[in-house]
Amino acid sequence: MAWLRTWTFAILFYGLSVPIVLLTPLSALFGRRAMIAHAHGWARLHRLLTRYVLGIQVRVEGEPASGPVFYAAKHQAMFETLELQLILGGPAMVLKRELTRIPFWGWAALRYGAIVADREASAAALRSMMRDARALTAEGRSILIYPEGTRVEPGEQPPLQSGFAGLYRTLGLPVVPIALDAGRLWPKSGPKRPGVVTIRIGAPIPPGLPRQQVEAAVHAAINALDG
């Protein structure tokens, strides 16, 4: 039954995603707000299918911030990359460069408000990332990063990548850590399982802290559900 749910979800979600993504140039004609609304329509489709096809529901603990902040979230599955966009009100997201090279989708992500993170971490790439992040916060957008740098299995707690500290220092915004346990139901391989994903929005961590202190606080907070 789990495999049937998983394959039904994949057929419906990816089949319906193609025309949604192909229509993004039309939304782009009307500016960033229209792009955000378009993307959130796609995320709502994802939410609908995960709930009624996969049987996955969400329990949110805590409240999103009322103004621009720097969100730092655990990353265990594709699930949260779309669900958090709805819960957090459409933050700009830090993405690996290779994702922005996906035909058509990558272009749409950049227009939505993606900040490109380069694995090489060259000085020029870091300056570009900081410049883009500042421009988006100037528009009133929050920034969302997955500071461990990649999707991890439940129980894995790698150190934060260096880009997090650079953005924290540059933006001067409170950091709001987000813990989640989506990987229990949405594994990297194998069928997806029904159940409840918990997303815990933590208390803001103030700007201006020393690097080791803020990294330790964020690392502990995003792994709070990983025991």
pLDDT of the chain along its 227 residues, tens only? 889 999 999 999 999 999 988 888 888 778 888 888 999 999 999 999 999 999 999 999 999 998 899 999 999 999 999 999 999 999 999 887 777 777 777 777 777 878 887 766 666 767 777 888 888 888 889 999 999 988 999 999 999 988 899 899 989 999 999 999 999 999 988 899 999 999 999 999 999 999 999 999 999 999 999 86
The 8-class DSSP code of residue 147 comes to T
Which residue carries 């399982």 as its tokens?
193
Listed in sequence order, the DSSP H helices in the chain are 2-22, 24-28, 32-52, 78-87, 97-100, 105-112, 123-138, 162-171, 211-222
pTM value is 0.91
CA-to-CA dists, residue 69 to 62, 72, 154, 182, 200, angstroms: 15, 10, 26, 23, 16
The 8-class DSSP code of residue 158 comes to P
* pLDDT for position 196: 97
Of 137, 133, 138, 36, nearest in space to 89 by CA: 36
